[in-house]
Structure 1
Amino acid sequence: MKKLYPAIPLLVLVLLVGSWGVHHFAQHRLEAGIADFRASIGPNATFSYATARPRTLARGAHFTAVTYHNPAMTLIAADVRLGGLTGNNVQGEKIGSIVLRDVKIMTQASTISLDEVDLRNLVLPNTDRASADASRPLGFDSLVLDDGTLTNMHLAIPSSQTDVTVARMTVEQYGVGRTSHLDLDRLATQINLAPTRRISVDHIRIDGPDFASEVASLIQSGHLIHESHPHTMDLRKVEIDSTHPMLQIDHVATSSFSTATEDKMDTTLGNLTLWSTGNDNQTILNAFGYDHFNGNIHISSTSDRSAGRVHLEPMTIESADMGNLTVVAELDQIPFDDMAIIPETARIVSAAMTWEDHSLASHVLAGLAKSRNTDPEIYRQNLLASLAASDDASLRAMGRFLQSPQDHPLQIALRPMKPVNLMMLGIALSMAGDPSVAAPLGLTISTP
């Protein structure tokens, strides 16, 4: 034991020299890495920091007061910690973990601030170094990320006076060809243009999409790709309001499965409440004497992308106050690549509707009487007499329904000689009493 005592100072000296050597090596590696990064971002971009310290075995670093700037954006972070740095020029640079705190990202169009960004197993693809007249691309379409969490994010877009906040957002398995997941808590959007609009969602969960391929497709073509695997989306407590409540949904659940040519989708909206916009801006709800709609909606559909057709099988709307609607329909000329123009192009090939009335029929009759400055009961009796005396079976069926709506569910079938534009359906149904309109539409009305 005594023989070991003289060796202790030597051991301490070896450890001190070794640790100094490791630190010196790590510092050298860090400085070389910073120099290489600065060279890669090009002459139009800058990277600065207050302090930089290497972490264990030169596989990480800790930066403070970081600023990255290029002509398109500026990123500022109070604290940046990198760990698990590996990779090479072929496979891409791999970062086991990167944590940024007190982050701000500024562009000409928007500003994003975050309390924390925590990324795990991030792979940065190797791209060509930036040229003198262009910054290095961000490459959001070609990143690979196992897990990323953003905390207390705020996005401000001055041009549209829009503010978006997210309490917490987690992305899992991001990368081209990967099945990704998005989990988001307390999303809130406020549009400050008069009248102010506010949109909020307590929780969003999306499973299934290949987010990276979607981003790549948007960047390259401006369109989302068609994915052929199961997707699910779950939203809790969706609210839209302005100077008054506008819409609230307790639960939205959507599941879909796609092949190269066919999509099957099932969507449920639970406890949907839709308010009218007030007497100063009349809506259908106002016209029929309601100040809001409350109910549940379920839509099951099959879409044939190659033929541009959709089959509803069925769509149901259930309202304890108004009544229940069931619709089975075949539509064509569906623009799957530009769904915003559906009302302009979509046509009804055939449809069958069943209405079980609770109060809507009496509200409609009262509204029609009011528009004609007629006593509601007098208007109702005159209309019933006219319908009962009609030679048309459909009109007589309508009369039976209006006479006792709760006892006679209304059934409407539409089998037009040629498909009818979706936007023209309301006009066509309002002229159901005209044989010259009803016959081409294949319109029939019946009651059980």
Structure 2
Amino acid sequence: MKKLTSALILLLIILVVGGLGLRHLAQSQMESAIADLRAAIGPGASFTYATAAPRILARGARLTAVTYRNPALSLTASEAIVGRVTGNTIDGQHIGTLTLRQVQIMEPGATASVASLVLKGLVLPNTGPDLFRAPTPPRLDSLTLDSAQLTDLHVAVPAGQTDLTVAHATIRDYGLGRTSHLDVDTLAVQIRLTPTRRIGIGHLRIDGPDFAGQIASLLQSGHLIHTVGRRRFDVSALTIDTASPLLRVGHLEAEQEASASQDELETTITDLTAWPTPPQDQSLLRVIGYDHFAGRIHAVSTIQRQAGTMTLHPLDIDAPEMGHMTILADLDQIPVDDPANMPETARIVSATIDWQDRSLAGHVLDGLARARQVDAEPYRQQVQAALATSPDPSMQALGHFLAQPDQRLRVMLRPPRPISVLMLGVALSMAGDPSTAGMLGLSISTP
């Protein structure tokens, strides 16, 4: 028994002495690492903290009241916890975990705050001792990250009078060439420029893009690069408001399959409600007697990148209060790498539009009668009579449809030369003119 007690006491002494030795070594290594960091950031920047304690088993440290400043940026955190640090500024820094709490970031023109930021599997680029010195700290596209989680993000841009908040966000597998994933809960943007805009998203999920590669492309060329692979976008509870509601989307889901030669995209929007933008009394919806649009949209499209063409097969719009539209179309002059410009450049090569009416036809006729300040019923009969006696079979079919709008109406466009999408609405409003109908290659039937 005495031998066992002596052995236990000896073991305890070894552990205490060894622990003190390890702590002293860890303290020395931590201080050396901090000194290396201060040397690496150069004379134009500073790194300070209130207290620092090594984390022996975690191979890291815990620092309080951390501050980093350079001429373009100021960052503070109430606490920084670092674990599993390997490598160095010469061979590349690997940080197993980095937790920052109560973070404040300030730079010219913008400020940001984060309640908590947890980074795992962070790898800083291997650029030698000048990593933080010249010309700037490492760019976002040069980092590698297994995962990052943040809570209570707030970004303010005073010049643009814009505020952004995020309750919670997670990004996984970030880095050049990696398939990344993003999850965002409760995102809100407020733009206080006149007119004020408020944008909200209940949940956003993006799977598939190489975020680091896209950021690198934007920084280098100002444009997103085309990448192959499958991507999925999922948005719930989207809202856009001004002084009054503008848009509500219950759920938006889009899946893209991209190859070097073509992109295939399927998009579904459900529980869609849209109100006219101010001044509402001048909107087309109000003119034809609707307060808002409510419905569902489903679109399947294929883009041939080299030819710059798009096929809709189909675009389906179902509005229970108005009607149901199905569009099959071929378009050209598609800006494959700049889709925001598509409305200005795209042209219709051919299109087939099927319409099943619920109330739209009657609303249009009533709106036209109000615009002419005449009674609706006499005007309706006048229009139907004029169409019935037209020598054009298409106009006769349109008159037959207006008399019995419960049947399906088919509009076919086969223009001799492609027509701009922007000009289509104007051209259709003049479809009764034979020259316009010929330019559109227009034919109307009630199949």
Fold equivalence (TM over 0.5): yes
Q: Name the structure 1 match of 2:266.
A: 266
**How do 1:286-365 residues align onto structure 2 when only pairs under 5 Å count?**
286-365=286-365
> Distance in 2 between the 1:278 and 1:4 partners?
88
Q: What SS class does the counterpart of residue 42 from structure 2 fall into?
A: coil
Asked if 2 retains the 8 angstrom alpha-carbon contact of 1:234 and 1:254, the reply is yes
Q: Name the structure 2 match of 1:162.
A: 162
> Distance in 2 between the 1:233 and 1:182 partners?
10
Asked if 2 retains the 8 angstrom alpha-carbon contact of 1:153 and 1:166, the reply is yes
Asked if 1 retains the 8 angstrom alpha-carbon contact of 2:40 and 2:131, the reply is no
1:128 shift after superposition: 4.5
Change (3 A) 1:385 1:29: same
Q: Name the structure 1 match of 2:206.
A: 206
Asked if 1 retains the 8 angstrom alpha-carbon contact of 2:145 and 2:173, the reply is yes
> Distance in 2 between the 1:75 and 1:60 partners?
20
Q: Name the structure 2 match of 1:148.
A: 148
Q: Give yes or no for the alignment of 1:414 onto 2:410.
A: no
**How do 1:113-128 residues align onto structure 2 when only pairs under 5 Å count?**
113-128=113-128
> Distance in 1 between the 2:114 and 2:362 partners?
54
1:323 shift after superposition: 0.3
Q: Name the structure 2 match of 1:14.
A: 14
Give the AA of the match of 1:110: A
Cα displacement string for residues 96-120 of structure 1 (whole angstroms, at most 9, x for unaligned residues): 1111000111111211111100111
Asked if 2 retains the 8 angstrom alpha-carbon contact of 1:415 and 1:442, the reply is yes
Q: Name the structure 2 match of 1:23.
A: 23
Bigger shift: residues 308-317 or 3-12: 3-12
Change (3 A) 1:132 1:342: closer
Q: Name the structure 2 match of 1:108.
A: 108
Give the AA of the match of 2:102: D
Change (3 A) 1:132 1:384: closer
1:298 shift after superposition: 0.4
Give the AA of the match of 1:437: T
1:136 shift after superposition: 3.6
Q: Name the structure 1 match of 2:440.
A: 441
**How do 1:417-436 residues align onto structure 2 when only pairs under 5 Å count?**
417-436=416-435
Change (3 A) 1:49 1:281: farther
Q: What SS class does the counterpart of residue 190 from structure 1 fall into?
A: strand
Bigger shift: residues 134-143 or 219-228: 134-143
> Distance in 2 between the 1:56 and 1:28 partners?
11
Q: Name the structure 1 match of 2:216.
A: 216
Bigger shift: residues 5-14 or 338-347: 5-14
> Distance in 2 between the 1:343 and 1:280 partners?
23
> Distance in 1 between the 2:51 and 2:165 partners?
31
> Distance in 2 between the 1:359 and 1:247 partners?
22
1:284 shift after superposition: 1.1
> Distance in 2 between the 1:305 and 1:178 partners?
24
Bigger shift: residues 218-227 or 351-360: 218-227
1:41 shift after superposition: 1.4
Bigger shift: residues 280-289 or 367-376: 280-289
Gaps of 5+ in 2: none
Asked if 2 retains the 8 angstrom alpha-carbon contact of 1:44 and 1:132, the reply is no
Q: What SS class does the counterpart of residue 141 from structure 1 fall into?
A: helix
> Distance in 1 between the 2:398 and 2:264 partners?
35
Gaps of 5+ in 1: none
> Distance in 2 between the 1:384 and 1:339 partners?
41
Q: What SS class does the counterpart of residue 337 from structure 1 fall into?
A: coil
Asked if 1 retains the 8 angstrom alpha-carbon contact of 2:41 and 2:132, the reply is no
TM-score (norm 2): 0.96
Asked if 2 retains the 8 angstrom alpha-carbon contact of 1:258 and 1:264, the reply is yes
Q: What SS class does the counterpart of residue 54 from structure 1 fall into?
A: strand
Cα displacement string for residues 112-153 of structure 1 (whole angstroms, at most 9, x for unaligned residues): 111100111111112244499845423210211111100011
Asked if 2 retains the 8 angstrom alpha-carbon contact of 1:238 and 1:248, the reply is yes
> Distance in 2 between the 1:430 and 1:332 partners?
23
> Distance in 2 between the 1:291 and 1:70 partners?
54
Bigger shift: residues 391-400 or 194-203: 194-203
Cα displacement string for residues 317-371 of structure 1 (whole angstroms, at most 9, x for unaligned residues): 0011000111111111111222222222111111110111111111111111111
Change (3 A) 1:280 1:323: closer
Q: Give yes or no for the alignment of 1:81 onto 2:109.
A: no
> Distance in 2 between the 1:226 and 1:360 partners?
40
> Distance in 2 between the 1:94 and 1:173 partners?
15
Change (3 A) 1:369 1:12: same
1:404 shift after superposition: 1.2
Q: What SS class does the counterpart of residue 432 from structure 2 fall into?
A: coil
Q: What SS class does the counterpart of residue 265 from structure 1 fall into?
A: strand
Q: What SS class does the counterpart of residue 230 from structure 1 fall into?
A: strand
Change (3 A) 1:279 1:82: closer
> Distance in 1 between the 2:377 and 2:3 partners?
116
TM-score (norm 1): 0.96
Q: What SS class does the counterpart of residue 405 from structure 1 fall into?
A: coil
Cα RMSD (Å): 1.8
Q: What SS class does the counterpart of residue 142 from structure 2 fall into?
A: coil
